[in-house]
C-alpha cells in the first residue's frame, strides 16, 4: 500500500513541477514533460515487482510503439489553438485523435508482427 502511495506522490510531484516550470519557461517545461521519466520509472517499478527480462523487453518495445500514435496530438492541439479553437475543445480533439490512433495501432500492429 505504501509503495502505491509513494508512486502516486512521485508522479504528482513530477506533474506539479512541470506545471510550475511552465508558468515561467514553457519550452523548458515541454522538454521536461517530453522526457520519458514516467516510462523509466514504470520500468524500474515493474522490474522491482517482476524481474523478468522478456517481460521488460515486451513492455519497452510496446511503449515505443504506443508513443507513436500519441505524437500527432502535439501537432493538432497547437494548430487548433492558433486557429482560434478553445483550449478544452482542442485538447478533447487531440485526445480523441490519440485514442483513435491507439485503436488503429492495436488493430494493425499485430499484422506486422508487433507484440502489443
* Collapsed DSSP state (helix, strand, coil) of residue 35: coil
Confidence tier at 4 by pLDDT (50, 70, 90) = confident
Q: What is the pLDDT of residues 20-59, one digit of tens each?
A: 999 999 999 988 888 888 889 889 999 999 999 999 999 9
pLDDT at 10: 86
Whether this model's pTM surpasses 0.85: no
> Using CA atoms, how far apart are residues 89 and 77, in angstroms rounded to an integer?
9
What's the whole-number mean pLDDT along residues 2-13?
86
Give the integer Cα–Cα distance in Å for 104 and 106.
5
Kindly report, residue by residue over 67-90, the tens digit of the pLDDT: 999 999 999 999 999 999 999 999
C-alpha cell at 80: 487548433
CB-CB contact of 67 with 92 (8 Å): no
Kindly tell me if the per-residue pLDDT of 102 is higher than 80.
yes
First to last CA, the chain: 29
DSSP string, 52-116: -HHHHHHHHHHHHHHHGGGTTHHHHHHHHHHTT--HHHHHHHHHHHHHHHHHHHHHHGGGGT---
Amino acid at each position: 500500500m505504501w509503495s502505491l502511495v509513494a508512486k502516486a506522490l512521485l508522479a504528482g510531484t513530477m506533474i506539479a513541477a512541470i506545471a510550475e516550470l511552465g508558468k515561467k519557461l514553457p519550452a523548458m517545461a515541454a522538454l521536461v514533460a517530453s522526457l520519458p521519466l514516467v516510462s523509466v520509472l514504470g520500468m524500474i517499478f515493474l522490474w522491482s515487482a517482476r524481474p523478468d527480462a522478456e517481460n521488460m523487453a515486451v513492455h519497452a518495445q510496446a511503449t515505443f510503439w504506443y508513443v507513436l500514435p500519441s505524437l500527432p496530438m502535439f501537432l493538432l492541439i497547437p494548430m487548433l489553438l492558433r486557429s482560434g479553437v478553445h483550449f478544452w475543445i482542442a485538447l478533447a480533439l487531440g485526445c480523441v485523435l490519440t485514442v483513435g490512433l491507439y485503436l488503429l495501432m492495436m488493430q494493425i500492429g499485430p499484422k506486422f508482427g508487433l507484440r502489443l
